[in-house]
Amino acid sequence: MDKKETEELKQKLFNKKENGWNTKSAEEKQAIFEYAKGYINYMNQSKTEREIVESSQKIAQENGFKSIEEYENLKPGDKVYYNNRGKSMYLAIIGENSIENGMNIIGSHADSPRLDLKPNPLYEDSEFAYFKTHYYGGIKKYQWTTIPLAIHGVIVKTNGEKVKVSIGEHIEDPIFTITDLLPHLAQDQMKKKLAEGIEGEDLNLLIGSIPFDGECGEKVKLNILNILNQKYGITEKDFLSSELELVPAMPCRSMGFDSSMIAGYGQDDKICVYASLTALMKIHNPQKTAVCIISDKEEIGSMGNTGMESHVFDTFISELLNKLGINRPNLLEKIFCNSKMLSADVDAGLDPIYSSVSEKNNASYLGRGIGMNKYTGARGKSGASDANAEFVAEVRRIFEDNDIRYQIAELGKVDVGGGGTIAYILANKGIDVIDCGVPVLSMHAPYEVTSKLDLYEAHRGYEAFWKNA
Ligand code: MN
Ligand code: MN
């Protein structure tokens, strides 16, 4: 065979793993950058699951979605959502075909690793006031010291009044930080293992240093409480019923001389929330019922009544069946068995600096498009739902027919570690599920990195799935 023929054969037979940017026209690149601007804006308005649900509900309402309580009956084309306690959300567009034939679902999560305040957070030490924290999700603790932090969340009083807190985002706001030891005196600390360099109980937020002008002990603490009382009308006891989250006070921004990437907090998994939510807004009168899940608590095991393990999602779908006037025993289970889902969660992108943890043939690369994981899990795929080959083929067909850049990868080398998503929870109901999201660098760090191309391909891929699965 001559050189040209050999090259043609290679072109035909090899799985060509191409840099996505090489495949995009100038117009397409423009569309990618424009879409990323909307994402960055969304990220800068919402940093916690509560704020994401609030922003997402607003977007849904602007696009004709109504709360399920507002519908007496549902019919094809209707757009409906259910806001679960302000922390998770399910949306649906009723399909033209009978829902009995199954739904097309895309599910992501809005919670991200962070530091939560303890129920009794406030104390004074050596004339400094501090908040005690308890970290949420898998973090490398040292990354959370000496960075600007903002406080977001709610304080609920016994009379039901809910005080919203968001401080540290505007340039005129004060920020907060967790101090670390100066290198001059850190000889012992520097010898510790990285995991032990900063102890969980030392993640204390510095919040003030002026003593109250009066005669008593703990004057700095009193001064802080006095400020909080004037600003929010709360007393120390009200922290007992609060959910206050510390998140990096750093805006999400465009990154690189070529502006090809995005740096920002909480892209796991708000990037998939945005990509799927905005895709759903482009769906009108779908053949199959299109369902979008924005879940909570994924980072701590999907428990709780706003996590994916709860039955609230089933209740929402049952309520759709009630309002379609077709519900009957076991119909819900049957519909789940006929349904298909993309578990929209981020994937670990290969980081050349730390490439030793990845197996290059089976890693996701930033810029090569949406990243699919047939399975996640750890050590022998343990805990993975492992998508069926038939379903993987169907998703491949949809992506290839619609010219979506995609890659199928594993989360790191065999036996190096592992992870999970909400995929298995939905798979347990009988749904065909595959993980399908955006590759990330520095996952779970205060500042995560993604590619604008992958974000855009995820968005296009989700739209294609809802229209064609
Ligand atoms: Mn995630
Ligand atoms: Mn995560």
pLDDT at 312: 98
Residue 54 in tokens = 């609030």
What are 425-461's pLDDT values in tens digits? 999 999 999 999 999 999 999 999 999 999 999 999 9
> Nearest CA to 308 among 87, 469, 53, 138?
87
Separation between Cα atoms, residue 439 and residue 454, nearest integer Å: 7
Please report which confidence band the pLDDT of residue 288 belongs to, taking 50, 70 and 90 as the band edges: very high
Separation between Cα atoms, residue 361 and residue 53, nearest integer Å: 37
**CA 453 to ligand 2 center in whole angstroms:** 21
**CA 437 to ligand 1 center in whole angstroms:** 9
**CA 186 to ligand 1 center in whole angstroms:** 34
Q: In what order do the strands lie in the sheet with 149-156?
A: 162-167, 149-156, 242-248, 114-125, 128-136, 205-208
**CA 40 to ligand 2 center in whole angstroms:** 19
Please report which confidence band the pLDDT of residue 132 belongs to, taking 50, 70 and 90 as the band edges: very high
Q: Which helix (H) or strand (E) holds 186?
A: none
**CA 300 to ligand 1 center in whole angstroms:** 10
What are 82-113's pLDDT values in tens digits? 999 999 999 999 999 999 999 999 999 999 99
> Residues whose CB is under 5 A from ligand 1 (ion)?
268-269, 345
**CA 111 to ligand 1 center in whole angstroms:** 8
**CA 264 to ligand 2 center in whole angstroms:** 14
317-341 b/e (C-beta count within 10 Å ≥ 16 → b): bebbbebbeeeeeeebeebbebbbb
Q: What are phi and psi of 426, to 5 degrees?
A: -75, -35
**CA 41 to ligand 1 center in whole angstroms:** 20
Please report which confidence band the pLDDT of residue 119 belongs to, taking 50, 70 and 90 as the band edges: very high
**CA 443 to ligand 2 center in whole angstroms:** 7
pLDDT at 332: 98
What are 396-430's pLDDT values in tens digits? 999 999 999 999 999 999 999 888 899 999 999 99
**CA 107 to ligand 2 center in whole angstroms:** 14
Mean pLDDT of 233-257: 98
C-alpha neighbours within 13 Å on the C-beta side of residue 300 = 17
Structural contact between residues 57 and 81, judged by C-beta atoms closer than 8 angstroms: yes
